[in-house]
Amino acid sequence: MNSSKLFASLLWIVLVLQLSGCATMITMETVRPPVVRVSPEQWKVLVVNRYDTAAQATNKNENVTAVLRDGAYQAAGGVMGAIYNDSTFVLVNPDQAISLPASSDRLNGEEVNALFKQYGPHLILTLDKFKTGFGKVMDSYEDEDGFKTKIANYDLVVASTWSLYDSTGMLLDQATVEQQEFYDSRTVVSGLLAIGPAMGKAGPVVNRLAVETGYSYWDRFYPQPTLLVRQVHMASSLQDAHIMLLLGQFQQAITTLLPLAQDLSSKTGVKAAHNLAIAYEAAGDYEQATYWARQAESKGDKLATKLLVLWANAGLIK
């Protein structure tokens, strides 16, 4: 399809949606900027495993405790592998993570000083927590004779929590990274709940997902291609900017929406401010995106409130 036909198709979609409601969902291809930004002088990284089996493994089953302990070890190994393969950084301890059981939620000054004195890192990355669990979704099937069968589908979820410090002990970043995949299905017998899988036997899958959480955390240092799915306000005056967002013309959308968003005394101005926040997000400017989302929120825009909560939960804003 040539550009003129694509533009006409998008315009038709916009007009139809405009008649059907006040807001609509759009999907945009963009590149999310790095969540973690450090200076070029901060290139030596020390990885510390602060997972404390005795304190964090509430399940006293020895097999489960072993799965959690080994999973935490694999998560630390995953992030170490990512750093080792990153030519921008040097892993101070390439053989294994430094073991330092957590005495509190964060590293204290004495611990930072001791680590810096011994290893001389520019950055200290700690694995603070490691958790696993099963998520369950129930499905029901009916055969030709009307006989119903219930199936419990289980996903295995692995989560690792990380903190990044500079050499002075300043907290630069903190995030929990999750990985999950389908694990098992169980038939529900006689209307009773299915007996779920045993975590103590899930070690190999936990270890693999744990490694992925480590690699995924290190992705926070780099731009990431992503699909943004956002709800935008609809109005005739916002139509051109809406089409620009759909076409990936984010700077043009910003230029179009800025004059409209200046007038927050009107409903159109508030809607424009919200849409402008999304345009800035798509362009990778979270400072301006946050500013305009808060401007819209201050005028009672509920979509802007949801947007700010979404960004905060993702660690994109503070």
pTM higher than 0.85 for the full model?
no
pLDDT for position 277: 97
- N-term to C-term CA, the chain: 42
Where exactly are the structural domains of the chain? 3-33+225-313, 44-221
| Whether the Cβ atoms of residue 166 and residue 144 lie closer than 8 Å to each other | no
Cβ neighbours around 180 below 10 Å, total: 16
Arithmetic mean of pLDDT, 84-106 = 92
Would you identify the CATH topology of the domain 44-221? Rossmann fold (3.40.50)
pLDDT for position 80: 98
Closest to 215 measured CA to CA, from 166, 158, 167, 169: 158
Band (pLDDT 50/70/90 cuts) for residue 245 is very high
Would you identify the CATH topology of the domain 3-33+225-313? 1.25.40
Tokens of 137: 């979704």
Amino acid at 196: G
Arithmetic mean of pLDDT, 14-26 = 61
pLDDT for position 20: 42
Q: Among positive and negative, which fits the CA dihedral 176, 182, 186, 187?
A: positive
Percent of the chain with pLDDT strictly greater than 90: 71
pLDDT for position 301: 95
- For 160-207, how does the pLDDT look when each residue is reduced to its tens digit (9 = 90+)? 999 999 999 999 999 999 999 999 988 776 555 567 899 999 999 999
d(CA 263, CA 64): 58
Band (pLDDT 50/70/90 cuts) for residue 16 is very low
Q: Among positive and negative, which fits the CA dihedral 106, 108, 109, 110?
A: negative
pLDDT for position 143: 72
* H-run or E-run covering 173: strand 171-187
Q: How many CA atoms lie within 13 A of 268 on its CB side?
A: 10
pLDDT for position 314: 76
pLDDT for position 137: 84
* H-run or E-run covering 291: helix 286-298
Burial of residue 247 (CB within 10 Å: 0-12, 13-18, 19+) is middle
Residue that wins the pLDDT comparison between 316 and 82 = 82
Percent of the chain with pLDDT strictly greater than 70: 89
pLDDT at residue 257 tops 60: yes
Arithmetic mean of pLDDT, 305-314 = 89
pLDDT at residue 57 tops 70: no
Residue in this structure with the two tokens 């950084």, named with its chain if needed: 89
pLDDT for position 317: 82
Residue that wins the pLDDT comparison between 9 and 27 = 27
Arithmetic mean of pLDDT, 15-22 = 48
Arithmetic mean of pLDDT, 78-103 = 94
DSSP strand pairing (44-49 vs 98-99): parallel
pLDDT for position 21: 47
**Across all residues in the chain, what is the average pLDDT?**
88
- For 107-165, how does the pLDDT look when each residue is reduced to its tens digit (9 = 90+)? 999 999 999 999 999 999 999 999 999 998 878 777 777 777 788 899 999 999 999 99
d(CA 206, CA 295): 44
pLDDT for position 196: 81
DSSP strand pairing (23-32 vs 224-233): antiparallel
